[in-house]
Amino acid sequence: MSAPAPYRHADRPASVMRRANTLSRLITKSLNTRETATQIRAPGVLEVSMQTKASIGARVFQPIFRAQKLIIREIEILLLLLIAIAAVGVVAKRSNIPPAILLVLTGVVLALVPGLPAVRLAPELVLLLVLPPLIYSSAVAMSWREFRFNLRPISLLAIGCVVFTTVAAAAATHWLLGLSWPVGFVLGAIVSPPDAVAPLAIARRMQLPRRILVILEGEGLANDATALILYRFAIVAVSAGAFSFGRAAGEFAVIIAGELLWGIAVGWLMLRLRRWVADAQIEIVLSILTPYVAYWPPQHLGGSGVLATVVAGLYVSWNGLSMISAATRLQGIFFWDVLVYLIEGIVFLMTGLQARTLIAGLGAYSLSVLVGSAAVVSGVVIVARFVWIFPATYLPRWLIPAIARNDPSPPWQWPFVLGFTGVRGIVSLAAALAIPLTMDNGRAFPDRDLILFLTFSVILVTLVGQGLMLPAVIRVLGLANAGERELQTERTEELLARRHAIDSAIERLDRLAAERGLPADVVQPLRTGHRERLRHFEHAPEREENRQDLTASPDEIELLLIAAERERINELYRQGTLKDKARRRLERELDLREANLANHQHEE
């Protein structure tokens, strides 16, 4: 057989290119046709059957088509989740039930509906992508001064209570359920950290004392770090079959110190980087990256990453006031509020959707065993928190008089309500799902399916059971609206701060007028505007008391005037008199004025 034309005419590149182009067009055409028996022939080129080419093309593109279908399916599921979050949010707002509870229940109901696709929660998604921004946003919103003042009770709960609950759950499951000690410690570490999202929503709505809210927030920030570190130690003990308490204690201390230093370094670096770029959009992008920079390196090196993220957030909270511009703060607040709302909604809904997956792996256990085990573990977890919290509240004051002098003992209702807020959430479920399938020796991880079921049961019992009972417990304890006096004190302090700030602004205005010789028609409107602002806030309580004697408050009248301006601007825009760019500038100005008035009404 003679050599193909391209090789016989290697000295004629134009001919080679023409023949190659002809071959390419013919092969492309053959892959797109449905005929299978026809033969194609290019002059001087090897013959290739259309059937062979079609089969090759199908094998090449089949993985691509499969991936496209998978991506489209995941996008559809995500859209359905967002629709469910919006619908549940409306119901939660009208029923005064925390959205987290309704989302979990909605997820369970959807998971048990026949015909709907099963949705599996990847633990890496929660621990590496979801958890860092949630922790960071809570830390930034936290007051460093209040966190430092309540560091003792927060530490006793976030470290002491987590360790105590882990040991109590391990002992109960070992003695009552027959689990081995290492497996019991795995389960104990998983169910030990409470989730503060739902309890905080209820506590704020019922106006609990401010200190209870701070302790709940602080505990929610730090307890995941303790639990995840204990979880890693327990997993290693089960997989390797050996455990050294001394070595684990040393590693725990090193991890805590290392994450503290790393969190401070990340917060310091990111704040200065944000001040250097001086662009609101880029600064918000850097704020998104901050929790991941703080979380991922310690987590990869064997720590939890949680403590470093908390420290970075607290550093930004304390030092960001003078280093973050006003434009960045305004845009960042709205962005992070929406981001956290969506993340929490998807996470709690996904938690409920895991019901079908967990039930599918329980064929080896009888119903009586599952119900009894769930009751034992849930009861131990709930009781352990009460057993710990009362001595942790009163013993330090009895043993150390200085603590009692500086921080008198609270009434017994305070530790009781703190004990009742031990609700478990998504971190526990993600840790349970992250349990390896096999140990180091290749054998299956013992009782993995049972651990998953018990974790999910504890989440349901505490989140739904305790969460729905918490408002009634708060009323019975007499703590409902107990923080109203504190709110009045905060408003008084806020008004005093406003007065000092406005006085400082007027003093600066007078100095500028004297130094630069500013005319009176420039200075007087500014001075009058600041005085009017102060008068507005000073007379807010009087306006509230005399509201029934007024046809409308000044703020309500101002809102009506803004609505008239907005309507006229839209008419000019529709008529073509006003360009779109100018309309957007005017709309932004009206939006800021309206948001400012809404803030005034909320404060009043």
Instruction: Residue 572: give the domain boundaries.
Output: 553-604
pLDDT digits (tens, 9 = 90+) for 103-113: 999 999 988 88
Q: Is 91 part of any domain? A: no
**Pair 451, 600 in one domain:** no
Exposed/middle/buried for residue 578 (C-beta within 10 Å: 0-12, 13-18, 19+): middle
Residue 89 lies in a domain: no
> Tell me, what CATH number does 461's domain have?
1.20.1530.20
Per-residue b/e over 431-440, b at no fewer than 16 CB within 10 Å? bbbbbeeeee
The one-letter code for the residue type at 483 is G
Question: Does one domain contain both 585 and 518?
Answer: no
Count structural domains, the chain: 4
Whether residue 529 sits in one domain with residue 471: no
User: Is residue 575 in a domain?
Assistant: yes
In a domain, 272, yes or no: yes
Residue 184, both tokens: 């019991």
Please check whether residues 204 and 241 belong to one and the same domain: yes
Please, what is the angle between helix 326-353 and helix 280-300, to 10°?
50
For residue range 250-290, what is the model confidence (pLDDT) as tens digits?
Answer: 888 899 999 999 999 999 999 999 999 988 899 999 999 99
| Distance in angstroms (rounded) separating the CA atoms of residues 132 and 266 | 13
Q: Do 269 and 173 lie in a common domain?
A: yes
18, 50, 84 - which closes a domain: 84
The verdict on 148 and 235 lying in the same domain is: yes
Could you tell me where the DSSP H helices lie in 539-579? 540-545, 554-575
Would you state the pLDDT for residue 493?
76
Residue 412 CB neighbour total at 10 angstroms: 12
- Asked which of 42, 61, 84 is the last residue of a domain, the reply is 84
Flag whether 106 is in a domain: yes
Please report the pLDDT score of residue 185 as a whole number: 95
Task: Determine the Cα–Cα distance for residues 284 and 118; give it in Å rounded to an integer.
Answer: 35
Q: Which of 344, 442, 23 is nearest to 15 (CA)?
A: 23
Q: How far apart are CA 39 and CA 50, in angstroms?
A: 6
Residues 215 and 280 in one domain: yes
What is the pLDDT at residue 40? 41
Pairing of strands 39-40, 48-49: antiparallel
Q: Are residues 331 and 215 in the same domain?
A: yes
Which of these three, 25, 49, 84, is where a domain ends? 84
What's residue 37's pLDDT? Answer: 40
CA distances from 163 to 15, 65, 93 (A): 80, 50, 36
- The CA distance from 139 to 153, in Å, is 17
pLDDT cut 90: percent of the chain above it: 41
Whether residues 62 and 196 share a domain: the answer is no
360 and 491 co-located in one domain: no
Predicted confidence at residue 515, as pLDDT, reads 84
Residue 547 lies in a domain: no
* 296/440 same-domain check: yes
Per the CB < 8 A criterion, the answer to whether 467 and 194 are in contact is no
Q: Within the chain, which residues score under 70 in pLDDT?
A: 1-67, 537-555, 599-604
**Statement to judge: residues 488 and 348 lie in one domain:** no
Amino acid 45: pLDDT: 41
Report if residue 568 sits inside a domain: yes
Euclidean distance between CA atoms 372 and 149, whole angstroms: 42
pTM score: 0.79
Q: 199, 467 in Cβ contact below 8 A?
A: yes
Res 140: pLDDT:
92
Within a domain: 242: yes
Q: So what's the pLDDT on residue 64? A: 67
